[in-house]
Each structure stands twice: as structure tokens, then as C-alpha cells.
Amino acid sequence: MVRQALAGLRLLLVATVLLGIGYPMAVWGISRVPGLAAHAEGSQVVVDGRVVGSSLIGIDPVAADAARDPFFHTRPSASAEGSLGPGDPATSGGSNRGGFNDDLLAAVQERRTAIAAREGVAPDAVPADAVTASASGVDPHISPDYARLQAPRVAKVTGLPLAEVHRLVADCERGGLLAPRTVNVTTLNVAVHDARFR
């Protein structure tokens, strides 16, 4: 009995050292390999020495004055309290509502009306990704159509020429042949900030 207890204790100590110390240290060491470090730290976006977000997590910015909103916005989040957000980036997931769910259809219509009013366009000009949440609820990407829809408002509020804002949108577009074209909202908002204050 004592011999079995000692064998079990030795196994516990070896497993603790290997799996509780050795494995985490190995994973941490691999995360420091050049080229992996940025991803291991959450793909942080840094402006003026300050972390302003992540290129992998979309956090919908909230303007201090809704009438003078200088930001491009992400897709809505299922975790948002209001129809447009912002959502809670600590909560990832969709609403799990089907396409014929009355609550989902009402939310989409409410979002379409609010976005059309914010951007000064007809409701039928609002693209689908502007009114539907992504599966994760924290997707930082929007369609180029949604970015171009927001460009006139951003240009007006920031004072940047509309052509320059459209150029910034085009510079932030990614995808193509095998993947749909998308625009990373975090990267785009940083580019607008840099253009505005340079």
C-alpha cells in the first residue's frame, strides 16, 4: 500500500513538472519566435505607443457625440443591448435565431432604419452585412460596400476629402480570388486617424 502511494506521488510530481511547468514554458517560448509574437499577444494595434484594439477583434467604436460620428462601424453584435451596439467583446457568439424568426427580422429592420438615418441614405441602400451579426459577434471585417456607404459621413465629420477616405478604404481592402473582399474596421479607423492628424 505504501509502495503504491509513493509510486502515485512520484507520478504526480513528474506530471506536475512536465505538464504544469514544462509544457506551458515550451508554449510560451514558441510564442516568442519571431513572426509569432504579434499573434500571441492578440494582434494588437498600437497608435502613438498606446494599444487601441486588435486586428482580430472588432470593437464597435462609440462616438462622444452621435451627431458628429467620425468612425467606421463594424457589423452589429448579438451581445449588444441596443440594435446597433456596441457589443460586449468579451462575449463571442451569434444569436442562434433562424432567418424566419420574428425577433431577428424586427432587429434587422430596426438596424436598417437606424443605419440609413445615420448615413443619410435610403434603407434599401444599406448592405446586408450592416444589419446582420457575424457568427462570432466580434468580427472586425465589413464589406467594401458597407465601408463605402460610411465614407461620406466620415469625410464630412473628419474634414478629410471624400476621395482620400475612399482611398483609405481601398488600401484596407483584403481578399479577392478565393475569399470575399473585406475591410478591417480597426485598421481603417487607425488609417483615418493618422490621415486626420498627420
pLDDT at 165 over 90: yes
Backbone angles phi, psi at 35, to 5 degrees: 100, -20
CA-to-CA separations, 196 to 39, 98, 171, in angstroms, rounded = 28, 42, 16
Give the per-residue pLDDT at 39: 66
Over the stretch 98-157, which tens digit does the pLDDT of each residue have?
778 888 888 889 999 999 999 999 999 999 998 888 777 778 899 999 999 999 999 999
Half-sphere exposure of 137 (CA within 13 A, CB side): 18
Length of the chain in terms of residues written: 198
Give the per-residue pLDDT at 13: 93
Print burial letters for 13-23: b (CB count within 10 Å at least 16), e (below 16).
eeeeeeeeeee
Quick one: what percent of the chain has pLDDT higher than 70? Answer: 91
